[in-house]
Amino acid sequence: MSIVKIFFSPSGTCKKVAEQICSNFKQDQKSYNLLIFKSSTTLSSEDIAVVVMPVFSGRIPKTARERLSQIKGDNTPAIAIVNYGNTQISDSLRELVDLLDENNFNVIAAGSTVSHHSIFDGVAVGRPDSEDIAKIDKFSQKCIEKLETCESLSAEIPGNKPYSDYKQLPFVVSCDESVCVFCYDCINICPENAIPDVDPIDIDLDLCTRCTACINICPENARMFSGEAFEAKKPVFESANSERKEPEFYL
């Protein structure tokens, strides 16, 4: 039996949440990082899947959904988590649970966790913090207990179906050419192939989903959000989402 961590984590926070949950388990562990994993596979009924997805405007990112769809279960127990930046989860958790059900996973538990916002850095600073970690650990222990029977998730999950439409943010992702060292890490990590192979300074904003993978992997901090739309939205968004939201869990 293995614990299988499955995450799409452009800013590193979904990976952190997945690792925290899995740290409570004693079984051997393996990982599927959906930023780079594009193959198909099937997990066994003896595995336990811990799936953590980010929330982009109330949905699971389209590319993350497509790649997760390639991982099938065999009545494999699964823990479904969406991780968001203190705003709202909208239909994302409902969508994730539905997708895992469709892929023959047995979802035994689900939840939403809060992390530092990936675009607006003044929101949920320092999260997940010690309080969040304690709640995640308590939830993980309940999941371990529930795995003794593998009873399916019974709690009602928030969200609607059909899900809300995908939205494209108008913000510009730019690169400071005077700082860029042309390491090409951003090209290799971009899940949308939005950065040309020959020119990391450029970016196709029609393909870019503003996932922040290129920003977070840059060793020189050369990549950033910029432009009038972003600068105007930042203080408004940070003020509107300053009140602390808490993780929520369903068994």
Residues pairing with 49 in the sheet? 4, 78
Instruction: Tell me yes or no: is domain 172-226 CATH 3.30.70.20.
Output: yes
| Amino acid identity, position 13 | T
CA–CA distance, 147 with 151 (Å, rounded to integer): 7
Is 172-226 in the same CATH topology as 2-162+244-250?
no
CA–CA distance, 110 with 154 (Å, rounded to integer): 10
Report the DSSP pairing between strands 172-175 and 223-226: antiparallel
Q: Would you state the pLDDT for residue 1?
A: 77
Residues pairing with 48 in the sheet? 3
The closest alpha carbon to 33, from 249, 213, 227, belongs to 213
Encode the chain (251 residues) as per-residue pLDDT tens digits.
Answer: 799 999 999 999 999 999 999 999 999 999 999 999 888 999 999 999 999 999 999 999 999 999 999 999 999 999 999 999 999 999 999 999 999 999 999 999 999 999 999 999 999 999 999 999 999 999 999 999 999 999 999 999 999 999 999 998 999 999 999 999 999 999 999 999 999 998 899 999 999 999 999 999 999 999 999 999 999 999 999 999 999 999 999 99
What residue ranges do the domains of the chain occupy? 2-162+244-250, 172-226
Backbone angles phi and psi of 15, in degrees to 5: -60, -40
Task: Report yes or no: 194 and 101 within 8 Å, Cβ to Cβ.
Answer: no
Alpha-carbon torsion (245, 137, 72, 185), positive or negative: positive
Name the CATH topology of 2-162+244-250.
Rossmann fold (3.40.50)
CA distances, 43 to each of 23, 49, 94, 130, 233 (Å):
20, 8, 22, 32, 42
